[in-house]
Structure 1
């Protein structure tokens, strides 16, 4: 596709089995992009960068809730390789089901970069980045949000959120209850700070696990090999979530509080295993807790000497050519660390050596 008009028309007319290829370049849009038809599980609709990733620029939009960049209210679309920036609200809002968003960027939008809402379920967000999102009030834009009336079964994998004004990931609920969201190999870095590094007015959490108006809704969540670094407030945040939260082989470093689960409106269940907390305080309250083989448990200790480096800037390096996370050495364990092979077995989490290591990165 060569022009913004052609892209808009192709999206509106695409039906199951169709593929739309977008050439490199910058495309400007003055109103939200929409789709009219769904694919099927056997015949997705594909909207793909042809080669070099194109930029979709919505900067002409004024800040307004109706001025989203891309509205995906249909099912079974795969969107890959697009950079969405400067929308007047969300860069993308998903209210459909069974969609795949891969290797896309969401930046400088006036609200959350990518939001999943209105019953949307079973969507996969893969190898995506969301950063520098900031509204004019300097307090409400998240990197990613699976929140409010979202459905269950949404998955974030190999995604990064940094320097967003509110949270890296927001799981606050309204109406829907007892849903499940999964996060694997996701990194939340320096949220709560503006692009220039100054502090905003938002919450500044890395992963906000839940929360609700009446403080009674359950957002069940699983975090596997996730990383929370340098967020102003909490790395992993409770926020009155009443559900079950599982944290396996995660690392938190230099957040206001690394792991913050309070005894006010507590979780039903909190499970944390094989995880690291460095340079930050913690609280682990819930109706039921299972905390095993973490650096704050008896017989464990952790220091800077356990890691190859603590250079936070590595975390926002360019992705690899296939969209996978950059190769880094940040918080990778050094040979001889007591944290190697010191973990307990967790179903579905692979390891080298004789047992799982502690933290997000396996030696």
Structure 2
């Protein structure tokens, strides 16, 4: 039996006209196809709109700041914000704040109080390879009067009380502290310059844990209000919190110490870092009170015990000690580090029960003060007197020069012993 569809197909094959029923079915099928096509197009348009919205959302996670911008702008590259504070106030987890090159000199400090997350930190950095300077000279307490105290909220050209932030490749100058971070955790300070501030260059205080300071240059920081007594290159002090790490820091020509851990109760790890020329009065401050240690690893009233660790670091030509426990009664570890031509003792650990391993002391006022500390394989264990002729290179030009492309301290054989290459620090 031949069905109606079969006959319709046969007629179509012969070029005949379709029957009315065939035409109705054909019209219905065509309408269905057109409806499906329209639905598909609508779905594609919706998907495209969704994709565009997603792209727009991703774009809004980047906020741009420029000196010629306006805080009424949306913060795009084409229409940037004007102030860093406005960008900080808009930031949410995952935001990247990119700052166009130039000098930013606000009248009050930048307050960072919001939090990123472990998976979505907030980042503040220059736009591309441009150079950004945050100048605190217009802020209060730059400098403060002699004997005055800086209110906590006014401390730091960047004042940080937020967690999960990344600060990258910024230069902070002339602030009431360069960066002051209080009760802040899980932050990264990467390739920063903090110089010529009216207190410490980078100061972390309070309940602060898991912060990483990487490839910091901190120099020329001084405190006229305290006659040089407390302006360090880098200070992690007066607080507690585990997991704080310093890598690749250069700390020099600061009024007080290169690094200061005064009254910090938890272990800090320092590696591949240098401190030099600290404690000298370059500013003709009256009644000068700078201590002048390269790495001050304790102190307080009373002295708390904290088991800090120093690895592969160098201190030279500081006015006082190269490395010192500064009264810390803990069990510190110092290894593969070098003290050269410091004004007092190279390794001063006579208040602690520390362990010193494979360290090198050359031409300091005294090589070591151990007290109840112990050590093995150090230069003073090998022979009693070391001189510059024992060293392959005493030129500071490379180690104090331009950093490597990745921000690290440039490779050099500075102060490496000729006959004992595994003794002391090496940056080769």
Q: 1 CA distance for matches of 2:199 and 2:112?
A: 21
Note if 1:192 corresponds to 2:279: yes
**What per-residue deviation string (whole Å, max 9, x for no partner) do you get for residues 56-88 of structure 1?**
101112334224211111111011000000002
Report what 1:138 is aligned to. Answer: 228
Normalized per residue, which structure has more helix?
A: 2
Note if 1:57 corresponds to 2:142: no
Distance apart, 1:152 and its partner CA? 2.3
Normalized per residue, which structure has more strand?
A: 1
Q: 2 CA distance for matches of 1:308 and 1:283?
A: 22
Q: 1 CA distance for matches of 2:400 and 2:280?
A: 14
The DSSP-based 3-state class of the residue aligned with 1:71 is: strand
Q: 2 CA distance for matches of 1:60 and 1:84?
A: 13
Report what 2:38 is aligned to. Answer: none
The DSSP-based 3-state class of the residue aligned with 1:323 is: coil
| Structure 1 residues 166 and 362, CA gap change in structure 2 (3 angstroms) | closer
Gaps of 5+ in 2: 1-64, 68-80, 145-149
Report what 1:360 is aligned to. Answer: 425
Report what 1:158 is aligned to. Answer: 248
Bigger Rg over Cα: 2
**What per-residue deviation string (whole Å, max 9, x for no partner) do you get for residues 38-66 of structure 1?**
11111111111221331110111233422
**What per-residue deviation string (whole Å, max 9, x for no partner) do you get for residues 264-299 of structure 1?**
xx21x2111111000011333344x33111110045
| Structure 1 residues 105 and 362, CA gap change in structure 2 (3 angstroms) | closer
Report what 2:374 is aligned to. Answer: 290
Give the RMSD, CA atoms, in angstroms.
2.1
Q: 1 CA distance for matches of 2:358 and 2:138?
A: 47
Aligned runs of 1:68-147 on 2, under 5 Å? 68-136=156-224, 137-147=227-237
The DSSP-based 3-state class of the residue aligned with 2:238 is: coil
Match of 1:31 among 105, 108, 112: 108
Moved more, 75-84 or 317-326: 317-326
Match of 1:10 among 84, 87, 96: 87
Gaps of 5+ in 1: 341-356
Note if 1:339 corresponds to 2:420: yes
Q: Is the 8 A contact 1:134 1:194 kept in 2?
A: no
Match of 2:125 among 37, 48, 59: 48
Distance apart, 1:23 and its partner CA? 1.5
Relative to the length of structure 2, the TM-score reads 0.74
Aligned residues: 335
Relative to the length of structure 1, the TM-score reads 0.86
Q: 2 CA distance for matches of 1:232 and 1:157?
A: 23
Q: 1 CA distance for matches of 2:155 and 2:378?
A: 44
Q: 2 CA distance for matches of 1:193 and 1:301?
A: 27
